[in-house]
Structure 1
């Protein structure tokens, strides 16, 4: 990747320039049987649309705080990169009452109602499906995002030294986040083309790093597994082989 990359959005742009067609995020939900694979180009398109929604329709600005109440999921990864594009600071599991915006899954809708700002809900259904009945007081992500633009340009430049991510009591600027991701990638021996399988949640730095940031910083990809404990040892071995996994976290 480009040594001058200072934000996660920079890392994604470098990945897009290097090989847009290669897989970046492969997601499994072993409770539903869902499998989704996103190339760098497809993932970047989702990020651009989400960033346009965030900046345009939701009025988010650099330095705003977004409480992210989502599990480890491919759409969560999209939101993390979209926030980096706009300059919005993400608080994983943050208090909605103290946040400027909240993004929630179906299991935390009541908690999310404490946010007095914009509220977005994700159904987390297969293929990015919408809620059968839209939750009152929330924008349905699956309804709002398809019509957004495929290219994103920020209204204001993003400060790499500005607040980027808060998780489990640790706050990181965007450039600190990128630095830690690169360190983790080096410790794990990740190189371009590495394929990391992880079942860790996104409620810790270790889970976020393994499930997104370290593979992205290394020029690799991730096989992100939700409810991995429901998979048998034989099933895990088959997945490791079929997905050409090089590292397991």
Structure 2
């Protein structure tokens, strides 16, 4: 990756410039059997559309706080990078009542209603499918995002020294996220390889092993949700099939 990258969005831009066709995020849900693989280009397109939704339709501005009530999922990874692109704070598991807007999965809708700002709901269905019926008081992400632009430009430059991520009861600037991710990648020995993570996105370790460390090192992620429900031998086969070089669970 480019040594001048100072935000997670910078890391994604460098990955896109280097090799847009390589896999970046491969997602498994062992409760449903779902598998989704996103190349750098496809992932970046989702990020651009989501950032346009954030900045345009939702009127989010740098410094605003977005409560992300989402599990480890490829769409959560998209939202994390979209927040970085706009310059808003991704508050992982944050209090919706104190957030400017909330992004919720289907299991946290009741809690998300405490947010007085815009509310976005993700069905987290295979292939990014929509809710059969949009939850009351929410906009359905799967309905809103497809019509958004494929390219994104922030209205104002994102300051890498401003708060970008809130997790584990603390806050990190964009530059600090990149610095810690690079250190984690070196410690884990990820390099340009593939890291399989079965950790929750609710703490830094899961966010790093499940997204940021791979981005910072030119690697890719095999992100596994509900890994504890996988049948015997599935993990070993997946490690071999996906050519995983580092496993964190």
- Cα contact 2:31–2:230 (8 A) shared by 1: no
Provide the rounded CA distance (Å) in 1 between the counterparts of 2:186 and 2:235: 25
- 1:48 and 2:48 aligned: yes
TM-score computed with the length of structure 2 as normaliser: 0.99
Say which SS state the counterpart of residue 31 (structure 1) adopts.
coil
Deviations 1:104-131 (A, max 9, x none): 0000101000100010000000000000
Task: Tell me which residue corresponds to 1:218.
Answer: 217
Deviations 1:21-71 (A, max 9, x none): 000000000000000000000000000000000000000000000000000
Task: Tell me which residue corresponds to 2:154.
Answer: 154
Provide the rounded CA distance (Å) in 1 between the counterparts of 2:130 and 2:147: 14
Task: Tell me which residue corresponds to 2:208.
Answer: 209
Task: Tell me which residue corresponds to 1:29.
Answer: 29
Task: Tell me which residue corresponds to 1:17.
Answer: 17
Give 1:170 shift. Answer: 1.8
Task: Tell me which residue corresponds to 2:196.
Answer: 197
Unpaired stretches in structure 2, ≥5 consecutive residues: none
- 1:63 and 2:63 aligned: yes
Say which SS state the counterpart of residue 43 (structure 1) adopts.
helix
Provide the rounded CA distance (Å) in 1 between the counterparts of 2:176 and 2:11: 13
Provide the rounded CA distance (Å) in 2 between the counterparts of 1:157 and 1:233: 49
CA RMSD, Structure 1 to Structure 2 (Å): 0.5
Task: Tell me which residue corresponds to 2:88.
Answer: 88
Task: Tell me which residue corresponds to 1:145.
Answer: 145
Paired positions, count? 248
Give 1:233 shift. Answer: 3.8
Provide the rounded CA distance (Å) in 2 between the counterparts of 1:237 and 1:231: 11
Which stretch has the larger CA shift, 106-115 or 224-233?
224-233
Give 1:232 shift. Answer: 3.0
Unpaired stretches in structure 1, ≥5 consecutive residues: none
Provide the rounded CA distance (Å) in 1 between the counterparts of 2:84 and 2:179: 15
Provide the rounded CA distance (Å) in 2 between the counterparts of 1:231 and 1:142: 27
Say which SS state the counterpart of residue 14 (structure 1) adopts.
helix
Provide the rounded CA distance (Å) in 1 between the counterparts of 2:230 and 2:135: 32
Say which SS state the counterpart of residue 166 (structure 1) adopts.
strand
Say which SS state the counterpart of residue 172 (structure 1) adopts.
strand
